[in-house]
Protein backbone atom coordinates (compact mmCIF):
# COMPACT_ATOMS: atom_id res chain seq x y z
CA UNK A 1 0.00 0.00 0.00
CA UNK A 2 1.41 3.39 -0.98
CA UNK A 3 1.63 6.41 1.31
CA UNK A 4 -0.48 8.39 -1.18
CA UNK A 5 -3.22 5.78 -0.86
CA UNK A 6 -3.20 6.27 2.91
CA UNK A 7 -5.26 9.48 2.52
CA UNK A 8 -8.39 7.35 2.15
CA UNK A 9 -8.96 4.78 4.91
CA UNK A 10 -7.52 1.38 4.11
CA UNK A 11 -10.34 -1.14 3.81
CA UNK A 12 -9.64 -4.04 6.17
CA UNK A 13 -11.27 -7.46 6.17
CA UNK A 14 -10.71 -9.46 9.34
CA UNK A 15 -10.92 -13.26 9.53
CA UNK A 16 -11.49 -14.99 12.88
CA UNK A 17 -12.15 -18.53 14.09
CA UNK A 18 -12.71 -18.03 17.79
CA UNK A 19 -13.16 -15.54 20.58
CA UNK A 20 -11.98 -12.56 18.54
CA UNK A 21 -10.27 -10.68 21.36
CA UNK A 22 -7.70 -9.42 18.84
CA UNK A 23 -10.52 -8.27 16.58
CA UNK A 24 -12.00 -6.41 19.56
CA UNK A 25 -8.67 -4.76 20.30
CA UNK A 26 -8.54 -3.59 16.68
CA UNK A 27 -12.14 -2.32 16.71
CA UNK A 28 -11.41 -0.37 19.91
CA UNK A 29 -8.13 1.03 18.64
CA UNK A 30 -9.67 2.25 15.38
CA UNK A 31 -12.54 3.86 17.32
CA UNK A 32 -10.22 5.81 19.59
CA UNK A 33 -7.59 6.85 17.03
CA UNK A 34 -8.77 9.28 14.33
CA UNK A 35 -5.36 9.01 12.62
CA UNK A 36 -5.53 5.23 12.34
CA UNK A 37 -6.06 5.30 8.58
CA UNK A 38 -8.14 2.15 8.27
CA UNK A 39 -11.64 0.80 8.70
CA UNK A 40 -12.98 -2.73 9.08
CA UNK A 41 -15.38 -3.36 6.21
CA UNK A 42 -16.20 -7.00 6.96
CA UNK A 43 -15.45 -9.80 9.43
CA UNK A 44 -15.54 -13.38 8.19
CA UNK A 45 -15.13 -16.74 9.85
CA UNK A 46 -14.84 -20.43 8.99
CA UNK A 47 -17.11 -21.06 12.00
CA UNK A 48 -20.65 -19.70 12.23
CA UNK A 49 -20.46 -19.86 16.05
CA UNK A 50 -17.24 -17.85 16.41
CA UNK A 51 -17.71 -15.27 19.16
CA UNK A 52 -15.70 -12.86 17.01
CA UNK A 53 -18.70 -12.59 14.66
CA UNK A 54 -20.87 -11.42 17.56
CA UNK A 55 -18.29 -8.82 18.48
CA UNK A 56 -18.35 -7.54 14.89
CA UNK A 57 -22.15 -7.43 14.75
CA UNK A 58 -22.21 -5.48 17.99
CA UNK A 59 -19.86 -2.97 16.41
CA UNK A 60 -22.10 -2.70 13.34
CA UNK A 61 -19.64 -4.43 11.00
CA UNK A 62 -20.98 -6.78 8.28
CA UNK A 63 -20.14 -10.46 8.84
CA UNK A 64 -20.19 -13.75 6.98
CA UNK A 65 -19.24 -17.34 7.66
CA UNK A 66 -17.81 -19.83 5.22
CA UNK A 67 -17.35 -23.36 6.62
CA UNK A 68 -14.97 -25.82 4.97
CA UNK A 69 -17.53 -28.62 5.51
CA UNK A 70 -20.03 -26.92 3.21
CA UNK A 71 -17.75 -27.37 0.19
CA UNK A 72 -16.52 -30.27 -1.90
CA UNK A 73 -12.88 -29.64 -1.09
CA UNK A 74 -10.47 -27.09 0.35
CA UNK A 75 -9.97 -25.39 -3.04
CA UNK A 76 -13.70 -24.76 -3.47
CA UNK A 77 -13.91 -23.45 0.10
CA UNK A 78 -11.04 -21.05 -0.42
CA UNK A 79 -12.50 -19.76 -3.70
CA UNK A 80 -15.81 -19.10 -1.94
CA UNK A 81 -13.99 -17.34 0.90
CA UNK A 82 -12.19 -15.10 -1.60
CA UNK A 83 -15.47 -14.33 -3.37
CA UNK A 84 -17.16 -13.32 -0.13
CA UNK A 85 -14.22 -11.11 0.77
CA UNK A 86 -14.02 -9.48 -2.68
CA UNK A 87 -17.62 -8.33 -2.37
CA UNK A 88 -16.37 -5.91 0.28
CA UNK A 89 -13.36 -4.71 -1.77
CA UNK A 90 -10.78 -4.98 1.03
CA UNK A 91 -7.28 -3.57 0.53
CA UNK A 92 -5.80 -5.80 3.22
CA UNK A 93 -6.70 -8.98 5.08
CA UNK A 94 -6.15 -9.33 8.82
CA UNK A 95 -5.94 -12.87 10.19
CA UNK A 96 -6.92 -12.50 13.84
CA UNK A 97 -6.95 -16.03 15.23
CA UNK A 98 -8.05 -17.53 11.90
CA UNK A 99 -7.23 -21.21 12.25
CA UNK A 100 -7.23 -22.18 8.58
CA UNK A 101 -4.29 -22.02 6.20
CA UNK A 102 -4.62 -19.99 3.04
CA UNK A 103 -2.80 -20.77 -0.21
CA UNK A 104 -1.08 -18.72 -2.89
CA UNK A 105 -4.40 -18.58 -4.77
CA UNK A 106 -5.80 -16.56 -1.87
CA UNK A 107 -2.71 -14.43 -1.32
CA UNK A 108 -2.44 -13.31 -4.97
CA UNK A 109 -5.55 -11.16 -4.47
CA UNK A 110 -3.87 -9.08 -1.77
CA UNK A 111 -0.13 -9.04 -2.47
CA UNK A 112 1.93 -8.00 0.58
CA UNK A 113 -1.30 -7.15 2.38
CA UNK A 114 -2.25 -10.20 4.44
CA UNK A 115 -1.10 -10.05 8.07
CA UNK A 116 -1.30 -12.50 10.96
CA UNK A 117 -0.65 -12.54 14.69
CA UNK A 118 1.04 -15.61 16.13
CA UNK A 119 1.51 -16.41 19.83
CA UNK A 120 5.25 -17.17 19.87
CA UNK A 121 8.52 -15.59 18.87
CA UNK A 122 8.79 -16.94 15.34
CA UNK A 123 10.50 -18.92 13.93
CA UNK A 124 10.09 -20.83 17.20
CA UNK A 125 6.87 -22.83 17.67
CA UNK A 126 5.04 -22.45 14.39
CA UNK A 127 1.59 -23.96 14.02
CA UNK A 128 -1.61 -24.23 15.99
CA UNK A 129 -0.16 -25.21 19.40
CA UNK A 130 2.52 -22.59 19.86
CA UNK A 131 1.71 -21.74 23.47
CA UNK A 132 1.56 -25.37 24.64
CA UNK A 133 4.74 -26.28 22.78
CA UNK A 134 6.69 -23.38 24.28
CA UNK A 135 5.63 -24.53 27.76
CA UNK A 136 6.50 -28.16 27.03
CA UNK A 137 9.88 -27.23 25.59
CA UNK A 138 10.78 -25.35 28.74
CA UNK A 139 11.81 -22.05 27.15
CA UNK A 140 11.92 -19.13 29.58
CA UNK A 141 10.67 -16.54 27.12
CA UNK A 142 8.07 -16.70 24.37
CA UNK A 143 5.91 -13.91 22.99
CA UNK A 144 3.98 -12.43 20.12
CA UNK A 145 4.88 -12.07 16.45
CA UNK A 146 3.00 -10.03 13.87
CA UNK A 147 3.99 -10.94 10.33
CA UNK A 148 3.02 -10.81 6.69
CA UNK A 149 1.56 -14.06 5.45
CA UNK A 150 3.23 -16.05 2.69
CA UNK A 151 2.62 -19.55 1.37
CA UNK A 152 4.41 -21.29 4.23
CA UNK A 153 2.95 -21.68 7.71
CA UNK A 154 3.82 -18.83 10.11
CA UNK A 155 6.74 -17.89 7.91
CA UNK A 156 6.32 -14.51 6.15
CA UNK A 157 8.37 -11.36 6.89
CA UNK A 158 8.19 -10.26 10.53
CA UNK A 159 6.66 -6.85 11.23
CA UNK A 160 7.13 -6.79 15.02
CA UNK A 161 7.77 -9.05 17.97
CA UNK A 162 7.43 -8.68 21.70
CA UNK A 163 8.66 -11.05 24.41
CA UNK A 164 6.61 -12.55 27.24
CA UNK A 165 8.31 -14.24 30.15
CA UNK A 166 7.22 -17.74 31.10
CA UNK A 167 6.59 -18.08 34.82
CA UNK A 168 7.34 -21.21 36.87
CA UNK A 169 3.75 -22.27 37.43
CA UNK A 170 2.28 -21.12 34.12
CA UNK A 171 -0.30 -23.27 32.42
CA UNK A 172 -1.36 -22.88 28.80
CA UNK A 173 -4.36 -20.68 29.55
CA UNK A 174 -2.51 -18.30 31.88
CA UNK A 175 0.42 -17.92 29.50
CA UNK A 176 -1.82 -17.47 26.45
CA UNK A 177 -3.77 -14.80 28.30
CA UNK A 178 -0.57 -12.80 29.00
CA UNK A 179 0.52 -13.21 25.38
CA UNK A 180 -2.89 -11.94 24.26
CA UNK A 181 -2.51 -8.85 26.41
CA UNK A 182 0.66 -8.10 24.45
CA UNK A 183 -0.99 -8.96 21.11
CA UNK A 184 -3.85 -6.58 21.84
CA UNK A 185 -1.37 -3.69 21.72
CA UNK A 186 1.12 -4.91 19.16
CA UNK A 187 -1.29 -6.19 16.50
CA UNK A 188 -3.42 -3.02 16.16
CA UNK A 189 -0.21 -0.97 16.16
CA UNK A 190 1.17 -2.99 13.22
CA UNK A 191 -2.11 -2.73 11.35
CA UNK A 192 -2.06 1.03 11.89
CA UNK A 193 1.38 1.17 10.26
CA UNK A 194 0.10 -0.96 7.39
CA UNK A 195 -2.91 1.30 6.89
CA UNK A 196 -0.68 4.37 6.89
CA UNK A 197 1.50 2.84 4.15
CA UNK A 198 4.53 2.76 6.44
CA UNK A 199 5.51 -0.91 6.12
CA UNK A 200 7.94 -1.76 3.33
CA UNK A 201 8.97 -5.32 2.62
CA UNK A 202 12.55 -5.85 1.45
CA UNK A 203 13.06 -9.58 1.07
CA UNK A 204 12.57 -11.02 4.54
CA UNK A 205 12.88 -7.62 6.18
CA UNK A 206 10.09 -5.21 6.96
CA UNK A 207 11.23 -1.60 7.20
CA UNK A 208 9.04 0.85 9.11
CA UNK A 209 9.09 4.40 7.76
C1 LIG B 1 -4.24 -15.41 19.31
O2 LIG B 1 -3.40 -15.73 20.39
C3 LIG B 1 -3.49 -15.48 18.01
O4 LIG B 1 -2.15 -15.21 18.12
C5 LIG B 1 -3.68 -16.91 17.59
O6 LIG B 1 -4.98 -17.23 17.99
C7 LIG B 1 -5.34 -16.44 19.12
C8 LIG B 1 -6.67 -15.80 18.79
O9 LIG B 1 -7.25 -15.22 19.91
N10 LIG B 1 -3.42 -17.06 16.17
P11 LIG B 1 -8.55 -14.30 19.78
O12 LIG B 1 -9.59 -15.10 18.99
O13 LIG B 1 -8.15 -13.05 19.07
O14 LIG B 1 -8.98 -14.06 21.18
- Other residues' Cβ atoms within 10 Å of the Cβ of residue 4: 8
Q: Whose CA is nearest to atom 6 of ligand 1?
A: 97
What separation in Å is there between the alpha carbon of 190 and the centre of ligand 1?
15
The residue ranges of the chain whose pLDDT is under 70 are 1-6
pLDDT at residue 6 in the model: 46
Angle at which helices 130-137 and 172-195 cross, to 10°: 130
Q: What is the 3-state secondary structure (H, E, C) of 91-135?
A: CEEEECCCCCCCCHHHHCCCCCCEEEEECCCCCCCCCCCHHHHHH
**What pLDDT, on the 0 to 100 scale, is given for residue 10?**
97
Residues 126, 154 contacting (CB under 8 angstroms): yes
3-state secondary structure of 152: coil
CA 77 to centroid of chain Cα atoms:
19
How many angstroms does the Cα of residue 20 sit away from the middle of ligand 1?
7
pTM for the whole thing? Answer: 0.96
- The residues lining ligand 1, judged by C-beta closer than 6 Å to any ligand atom, are 16, 18-22, 52, 96-97, 117-119, 180, 183
| Confidence (pLDDT) at 1 | 59
Backbone φ and ψ for 106, nearest 5 degrees, come out as -70, -50
Q: Are 61 and 30 in contact (CB under 8 A)?
A: no
Active-site annotation holds for 200: no
* Distance from residue 4's CA to the centre of ligand 1 (Å): 32
Amino acid sequence: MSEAAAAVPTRLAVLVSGSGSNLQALIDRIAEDPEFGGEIVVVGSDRADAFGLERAEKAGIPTFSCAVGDFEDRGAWERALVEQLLEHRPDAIVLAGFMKLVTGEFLQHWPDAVVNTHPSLLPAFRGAHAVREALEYGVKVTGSTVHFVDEKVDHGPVIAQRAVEILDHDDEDALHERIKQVEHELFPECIRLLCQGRLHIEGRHVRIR
